Amino acid sequence: MRNTSCRRACFVATLVVCVTLSSCASSSTPGDKPVIIENPTAKSRLALQNAVCKSLGVAYVVLADDALTHESTLIVEPARIRDFEGNRLQGRETRMPQQFHLIQGKKKGTCVLIDDRTSVHTVLVDTTCKKK
User: Which residues is 128 bridged to in the sheet?
Assistant: 38
d(CA 100, CA 63): 13
Sequence-separated (6 or more) residues with CB below 8 Å from residue 45: 63, 65, 67
Phi, psi of 65 (to 5 degrees): -60, -30
pLDDT, one tens digit per residue, over 72-109 is 999 999 888 888 998 988 887 788 999 999 999 988 88
Whether residue 103 lies inside any domain: the answer is yes
Residue 99 lies in a domain: yes
> Does residue 15 lie in a domain region?
no
Q: How far apart are alpha carbons 71 and 51 in whole angstroms?
A: 17
Domain count, the chain: 1
Question: What pTM does this model have?
Answer: 0.72
- Contact, 34 vs 72, CB < 8 A? yes
- Considering the domain boundaries, does residue 10 fall inside one? no
Asked whether residue 89 is assigned to any structural domain, the reply reads: yes
